[in-house]
Amino acid sequence: MTEATLCATADAAHLITELKAAALAPLEIEGSHHLLLPEGYKHLDITKLVEASQSIPNRKAGTVALSSLQSLLDYCEDQGAQDTAYVFADPDRRTITAVFNDHREDFAGWRDHRAHFSAMFTPEFTTWINNDGSNKAKSQGEFAEFIEDNLADITEPAAQQLLEVATTIQAKTDINFSSAKRLDNGQVQLGYTETIAASAGTNGALSIPKEFQLGLRIFKNGEGYRLRARLKYRLLGGSVKFWYELDRPERAIEDAFAGYVNEVREKSGYRVLVGQA
């Protein structure tokens, strides 16, 4: 092989090497990065890998979960995205979600930069909700214990009267309830006989309120709310069962959540929509 042939072969090999290198070099197209590979290989979008190697991302993204409404307001203020964001309030799920890069009139957003707040019930409200209704009727001892454990949530004057009822039925274990009479003031008087040493014992009467008021925080870190509860009873073979029925607790929940939504609307400067983000 002549020297000229050898040089031509070397030049061709070098050219092929350069073409391969060029083909394998990442290609940037309007901010996205690609690799063009020979036939039999696959196309790879390495945009995220390139971005991950940078000190900062190309744009804001991600969802932050916040546990107080004030934290949501603070985060919204820090982002300063009033022109590109919507805030979505979902009354059914009791959530408020800010989407900072949403679709606006003259702006198309990725909708993936968010702050999410979920209104959570307080332990005390959960306790009263979970024990609401006739299917949660309690025996004398159970009712007394429940009232004593949750007395702080009952407002006066019913609190003291319910405590006296609970104390009485807890102290008098040998009681035979025999009658019930509604008084002029709306309360109910339960007649009973206290058995002493297997004898007839003494008769007595126990007045219980028709209803009572609760002062509760419905949501964690939220304001207090007033709820009305109707006290119910059932005489069964000398014993009595107690339960209560909250007056439209769903209305109280709706009102409390609506207060959150109004606060965001008034303080954040963002446009608030009702629905899911």
Q: What is the mean pLDDT of the chain?
A: 82
Confidence of residue 12 (pLDDT cuts 50, 70, 90): low
**pLDDT recorded at residue 200:** 40
Q: Render pLDDT for 168-211 as a digit per residue (tens, 0 to 9).
A: 765 555 566 554 455 445 555 555 555 544 334 445 666 778 88
Q: What is the pTM of this model?
A: 0.73
Query: 157 preceded by cis ω (within 30°)?
Result: yes
What is the C-alpha separation between 205 and 194, in angstroms, rounded? 10
CA 213 → CA 37, 133, 192, distances in Å? 74, 16, 27
Both tokens of 158, joined, read 């019913």
DSSP string for 114-142: EEEEE--B-HHHHHHHHT-SGGG-B-HHH
Choice between 31 and 247, residue whose per-residue pLDDT is larger: 247
- Predicted pLDDT of residue 275: 97
Query: What SS3 state is found at 73?
Result: helix
What's the whole-number mean pLDDT along residues 108-128? Answer: 97
C-alpha distance from residue 137 to each of 140, 146, 236, 244, 250 (Å): 10, 11, 12, 8, 21
Q: Which residue has the tokens 């899911």?
A: 276
Distance CA 43, CA 20 (A): 15
- Look at residues 19, 30, 135, 117 and name the one whose alpha carbon lies nearest to residue 76: 117
Residue type, 165: V
Kindly tell me if the per-residue pLDDT of 85 is higher than 60. Answer: yes
pLDDT for 121 beyond 70:
yes
